Amino acid sequence: MSDMALPSFAAPTDGQLTAEMLAAFHDAGVLILRDFVPVEECRALTSRALELVDDFNPEEVHCVFSTTRQTQADDSYFIESGDKIRFFLEEDAFDESGNLRQSKEDSLNKMGHAMHDLDPVFDQFSRSPALKTVADGLGFAQPAIIQSMYIFKPARIGGEVVCHQDSTYLYTEPESCIGFWFALEDATVENGCMYFIPGGHKMNLKQRNYRISECELTTEVLDPEPWPEHLKLPVEASAGTLVIFDGRAPHMSGPNLSDKSRHAYTLHVIDQTCHWPAENWLQRSPDLPLRGFA
């Protein structure tokens, strides 16, 4: 794992992955495709996200978060968000008097988890013909977009994300999750870009997160061996870059202490031919069936 770089290619305009790209993805667990999305489309998605933020009242979530802190782990606001559009604040969003330190959009950690099915602008971005071709090239039998997240990583208060694997949260039997991460703004070491451990997807799934009740999640440790974090490499990515990564690929990101936000959009895709356990946190209403890229 130690001397491996993270593979990076100019994006194929039609989404057709070459044999070299696929081999690199299977080796590293990560594939960087530069200029996959035109910058104007990145800006259009950001504008739409900010319109949705306009309609959100942070006081409502503040209550939920305060309650969570006082009464142990009530995760219902999160658990119920799989088929909705909900807003999650940064831990440092409020000052001691309970007022937002920064603007609303600069106080948010993320928005999720079903914009791709509920909002027409997100739907169109998430189901571009090129992205469908990429998913087909990755070998999905029956791809389904299980979740979307808009990551704000705001200036000054953007929180650190510790090393993890996404299959911990989006677990199928057998495992099938692949992440698609789009840089909507330039991501640098300074503003909290992602880091990956190249080849780390060949390690075990180290944790599984699941529901133990309607309003409570737990994380079970399957393999206590610590991550070889000294092997991590940063993914500095200009706006429009797509990073594809295996559900087992260990990744993390630092805090954003800079004065530049680091907006990104992520989609997670699973194969519907695999089993989706009922104890997974994300469960959708039968009124909103899973869809692929069609």
Residues that bind Fe ion (CB under 5 A): 166
Rank residues 90 and 166 by Cβ distance to Fe ion and give the closer one.
Answer: 166
Rank residues 83 and 246 by Cβ distance to Fe ion and give the closer one.
Answer: 246
Structure tokens at 203: 């390690």
Burial 111-136 (b: 16+ CB within 10 A, else e): bbbbbbbebeebeebbbeebbbbbbe
Provide the minimum distance between the beta carbon of 178 and Fe ion in the complex, in angstroms, as a whole number. Answer: 12
Rank residues 104 and 164 by Cβ distance to Fe ion and give the closer one.
Answer: 164
- Sorted by sequence, the CB contacts under 8 Å of residue 19 that are 6+ apart come out as none
Provide the minimum distance between the beta carbon of 164 and Fe ion in the complex, in angstroms, as a whole number. Answer: 6
Provide the minimum distance between the beta carbon of 147 and Fe ion in the complex, in angstroms, as a whole number. Answer: 11
Handedness of CA 206, 255, 244, 45 (dihedral sign): positive
Rank residues 211 and 251 by Cβ distance to Fe ion and give the closer one.
Answer: 251
Provide the minimum distance between the beta carbon of 57 and Fe ion in the complex, in angstroms, as a whole number. Answer: 27
**How many Å apart are CA 159 and CA 90, to the nearest integer?**
7
- Residue 33 is inside which H or E element, if any? strand 30-34
Rank residues 51 and 220 by Cβ distance to Fe ion and give the closer one.
Answer: 220
**How many Å apart are CA 227 and CA 38, to the nearest integer?**
35
The answer to whether 274 and 176 are in contact (CB under 8 A) is yes
Structure tokens at 68: 């969570």
Residue 102 CA: distances (Å) to CA of 130, 150, 157, 199, 252: 37, 18, 9, 39, 25
Provide the minimum distance between the beta carbon of 251 and Fe ion in the complex, in angstroms, as a whole number. Answer: 6
Rank residues 125 and 195 by Cβ distance to Fe ion and give the closer one.
Answer: 195
Rank residues 87 and 245 by Cβ distance to Fe ion and give the closer one.
Answer: 245
Provide the minimum distance between the beta carbon of 79 and Fe ion in the complex, in angstroms, as a whole number. Answer: 18
Structure tokens at 99: 């007022």
Provide the minimum distance between the beta carbon of 70 and Fe ion in the complex, in angstroms, as a whole number. Answer: 28
**How many Å apart are CA 122 and CA 285, to the nearest integer?**
19
Q: Which residue is nearest to Fe ion (CB)?
A: 166
| 31: phi then psi, degrees, rounded to nearest 5 | -140, 120
